[in-house]
A and B are shown apart, each in its own frame.
Chain A
Amino acid sequence: MKKSKFLSVVGIASLAAALLVGGCSQSSTQQGDKVELYMGYTSDPPTKKKMEEIIAKFEQSHPHIKIKTVTAPYEDFYQKLTTQIAAGNAPDIWQSDGTKVFGFAQRGAIRDITDYVTKEVNKDEVLGVEFNKDASGKYWGVPQGIQVGALFYNKDLFDKAGVAYPTADWTWDDLKAAAAKLTLDASGKNADDPAFDKNAVKQYGFTFFGSSRGAFNIMKAYGGGVLDPTMTQSIIDSPENKKAVEWMADGMKRKLFPNPAELKAFQSNFKVFLSGATAMQIDIYAATTSMNGAGLNYDVAPMPKGPDGKRFAPVIANSWVINKKAEEQKVKAAQEWITYWTTSDEAQKEWAEVGEAIPVKKSVANSEMFLNPSIKPDNKKVFLDSLDFAGTIDTNAVFAEWLKVVTDNLAELFMDKMSVDDYISKTDQGVQKVLDDFFKKQ
């Protein structure tokens, strides 16, 4: 009896001690006049090394700020961040994927920085500031790196087929006509040949999948889209979208584009273009790193035009966002970091060296350093020019959810399990339900 009492006393005492230690460990992060800024970013070994170098330089020129970092690869970072936000110890500032900014904003995790952006960020100098502005005119982030989509094409495959490279005048129909000449079966016949064997395609004309690399861009060029400007209503049920979807379904039927099952055979969707099994693909700037790594002979052209001459390029502005719960001093320090990031030539050039994103400082993006002709693709200027007709991919708080409805239904359509009309009506209802489930409960 005595023994058990003793044990329970020891137990309670150690629990109390542990809790006390826990409480103490949340020590003040401010030493002297130095502000400790807690920053999160996604990384792999090369980007991590580069970011550490830039942070060191920032700390040198801003001796009153000390940066503590948390970093992980893309998916793990957001898994960790979600838990941290729920537990109330998320970083003061983090690098958010462009598709997630409004999600964080509408869930109350990040700070409205309209004031800072309008006063301190020069929109003539910094690319893509407007992409973080919501329908009500509030700014939620400042670009950290820009991704713009373009049409990537494999020059070797074009040369072999004797097809002229894509030009800025191309329409989506021009693309399809070229794709037919570039789609080859096992015996080398192209899709225009009456003897073409659809069941033995060994090279496709054009590949698209996912969001920024996918159907969304074609729907936009045709004058359609997924959401209205308020980002709360589905606009899928429109004649423009129907035309765009018919265009895609026809290409799939003719086997000019690989369908979802055929894409799976490649293990990764990206491998189709990287292995030279498709002549064209929509992709974003960041894809150049893997294409260069694979030694492809490729270049880029602007996204083709729709039937009415409308053109659309997807943009993802990965951005710095500030924690809504950050203390004022930290918010200030975070803003100093953002200002440094967007205005410092040094930081921008260093980051551009990783090759993952278009620098956000316009002067650096337009410099020889970025447009460097010795690194592929030759026509890098296409990315910058595409910003003129670029738009976000309708990212909102339930982006991942509505995208799933759209892509799941597209897969059914492309696998011939659904008609175009069914696709339009089912997707419209599905997307609207996702939107209502979130926005009507707000």
Chain B
Amino acid sequence: MQKRFPLNKLFGYLFVLASTLIMVVPFLTTVFNSLKTYKQYMQFPPEWLPDPVKWSNYSQVWEQANFSSYTVNSVIVAVLSVVGTLLSSSMIAFAFARLKFPFRDTLFMIVLGTMMIPGIVTIIPQFIIFKNLGMLDSLTPLWILEWLGQPFAIFLMRQAFLSIPKDYEEAAKLDGCNPFQIYWRVFLPMCKPALATLAVFTFMGKWNEILAPVIYLLSEEHFTLPIGILSLRGQYKTDDQLLVAGALISLIPILIVFLFAEKYFVEGSKTSGLK
């Protein structure tokens, strides 16, 4: 007797197919838009497929937006920010989660409280501080604050540290570890998934950041990628198809980082729990 295809499986497939389409169609539309001419891009109702296919949009945007040198700057900023956030925030979070000192919880509430202040409010005071420190028109203001701890990162890491059973800490103490060694050798390796999440968040945030680079950078040699892409916008005319092509190119590093970090998400879930 022929085996019947289960109905619930069919619905499952249909559901997955529909969700895939919802995700994939906008992405494909973006890819197609990046290959259109300005004239075709402006058509309404829009045509889906590019005709003619203008691959040269990519080489044009690469040159016009000065991708090669801006990418280097963006990588410097993003990598330094990720390293800074992971180190400083996890260290602070460890103190909040595991060490005992006066006003610990009050201080933690204050740190969380700073998340309520909109970034835009502190822009001018920060600008003046960096100006007085002589750091304007350099990449430093774009990553240095990440080395001083980020409230959201501290919160995330503290939660991760809190979830680790006390037994690990005590065992490490018995073996003669000091608090730094407990943090570095025991807690950090156990929180790789949280660290990977944080790394991806920070990288994405910094990679796409626009306001700070616009405000702090003056010379072109320091510009980051988002400024390069946005510099294609004109006051009166913008070649949107080039903007889209630029945005797609700048997506590649984020994909790479994500694929790299994904390994740790899986690894993390495997090694959690007491043995």
List residues of A whose CB falls within 8 A of some B CB: 18-19, 21-26, 42-48, 70, 72-76, 79-80, 83, 86-87, 89, 97, 266, 271-272, 274-277, 286-287, 289-290, 293-295, 356
**B124→A87 contact, CB < 8 A:** yes
Q: Which of B149-157, B193-201, B225-233, B249-257 forms part of the interface with chain A?
A: B225-233
CA distance in complex: A141, B234 (Å): 23
Residues of B within 8 Å of A, CB-based: how many? 32
Closest to B236 in A: A286
CA distance in complex: A168, B133 (Å): 60
Cβ contacts under 8 Å, A276 to chain B: 44
Cβ contacts under 8 Å, B42 to chain A: 271, 274-275, 290, 294
| Residues of B232-247 contacting chain A, CB below 8 A | 232-239
Q: Which residue of the partner chain, among B214, B232, B239, contacts A80 with CB atoms under 8 Å?
A: B214
Q: Which residue of the partner chain, among A43, A80, A277, A289, contacts B215 with CB atoms under 8 Å?
A: A80
Shortest CB-to-CB span from B227 to chain A, Å, is 7
**A44→B133 contact, CB < 8 A:** no
**A24→B231 contact, CB < 8 A:** no
Cβ contacts under 8 Å, B24 to chain A: none
B38 contacts the other chain (Cβ, under 8 Å)? yes
Closest to B65 in A: A45
**B38→A44 contact, CB < 8 A:** no
Question: Which of A24, A97, A275 has the most chain B CB atoms inside 10 A of its CB?
Answer: A275
CA distance in complex: A72, B233 (Å): 9
Cβ contacts under 8 Å, B234 to chain A: 44, 46-47, 73-74, 289, 356
**A22→B128 contact, CB < 8 A:** no
**A287→B236 contact, CB < 8 A:** yes
CA distance in complex: A83, B43 (Å): 38
CA distance in complex: A42, B39 (Å): 25
**A24→B134 contact, CB < 8 A:** yes
CA distance in complex: A171, B136 (Å): 55
**A72→B231 contact, CB < 8 A:** yes
**A72→B227 contact, CB < 8 A:** yes
CA distance in complex: A45, B132 (Å): 32
**A266→B133 contact, CB < 8 A:** no
Closest to B219 in A: A70
**B127→A289 contact, CB < 8 A:** no
**B128→A87 contact, CB < 8 A:** yes
**B127→A44 contact, CB < 8 A:** no
Also in contact, A21 and B133, with CB within 8 A (given A45-B64, A83-B215):
yes
**A289→B236 contact, CB < 8 A:** yes
CA distance in complex: A47, B238 (Å): 12
Shortest CB-to-CB span from A61 to chain B, Å, is 25
CA distance in complex: A86, B121 (Å): 13
Q: Which residue of the partner chain, among A83, A266, A290, contacts B44 with CB atoms under 8 Å?
A: A266
Closest to B133 in A: A22
**B124→A44 contact, CB < 8 A:** no
Can you identify 15 A-B contacts, CB atoms within 8 angstroms? A18-B133, A19-B133, A21-B134, A22-B132, A23-B132, A73-B232, A74-B233, A74-B234, A76-B214, A83-B215, A274-B42, A287-B236, A289-B234, A293-B39, A295-B39
**B235→A42 contact, CB < 8 A:** yes
Cβ contacts under 8 Å, A274 to chain B: 42
Cβ contacts under 8 Å, B135 to chain A: 22
B173 contacts the other chain (Cβ, under 8 Å)? no
CA distance in complex: A338, B138 (Å): 30
CA distance in complex: A116, B31 (Å): 53
Extra inter-chain contacts (11) besides given A44-B233, A70-B218, A76-B230, CB under 8 Å: A18-B133, A44-B238, A45-B231, A46-B234, A74-B234, A79-B214, A79-B215, A86-B127, A274-B42, A289-B234, A290-B42
CA distance in complex: A241, B218 (Å): 46
CA distance in complex: A100, B111 (Å): 39
Cβ contacts under 8 Å, A86 to chain B: 124, 127-128
Cβ contacts under 8 Å, B214 to chain A: 72, 76, 79-80
B28 contacts the other chain (Cβ, under 8 Å)? no
Q: Which residue of the partner chain, among A23, A83, A286, contacts B235 with CB atoms under 8 Å?
A: A286
Also in contact, A87 and B127, with CB within 8 A (given A21-B134, A290-B237):
yes
**B131→A22 contact, CB < 8 A:** yes
What are the 10 tightest A-B residue pairs by CB atom distance, in nearest-first order?
A22-B134, A275-B44, A25-B134, A44-B234, A286-B236, A74-B235, A290-B237, A274-B42, A76-B214, A22-B133
Cβ contacts under 8 Å, B38 to chain A: 293-294
Closest to A275 in B: B44
Shortest CB-to-CB span from B39 to chain A, Å, is 5
| Residues of B31-70 contacting chain A, CB below 8 A | 38-39, 42-44, 64
CA distance in complex: A25, B239 (Å): 38
Shortest CB-to-CB span from B148 to chain A, Å, is 13
Closest to A73 in B: B233
Annotate B121-148 by CB proximity to A: 1 below 8 A, 0 otherwise.
0011001100111111000000000000
Cβ contacts under 8 Å, B236 to chain A: 286-287, 289-290, 356
Shortest CB-to-CB span from A357 to chain B, Å, is 9
Cβ contacts under 8 Å, A286 to chain B: 235-237
Cβ contacts under 8 Å, A75 to chain B: 233
**B131→A89 contact, CB < 8 A:** yes
B110 contacts the other chain (Cβ, under 8 Å)? no
CA distance in complex: A47, B64 (Å): 12
CA distance in complex: A60, B44 (Å): 48
B162 contacts the other chain (Cβ, under 8 Å)? no
B211 contacts the other chain (Cβ, under 8 Å)? yes
CA distance in complex: A89, B130 (Å): 12
Shortest CB-to-CB span from A3 to chain B, Å, is 13
Cβ contacts under 8 Å, A80 to chain B: 214-215
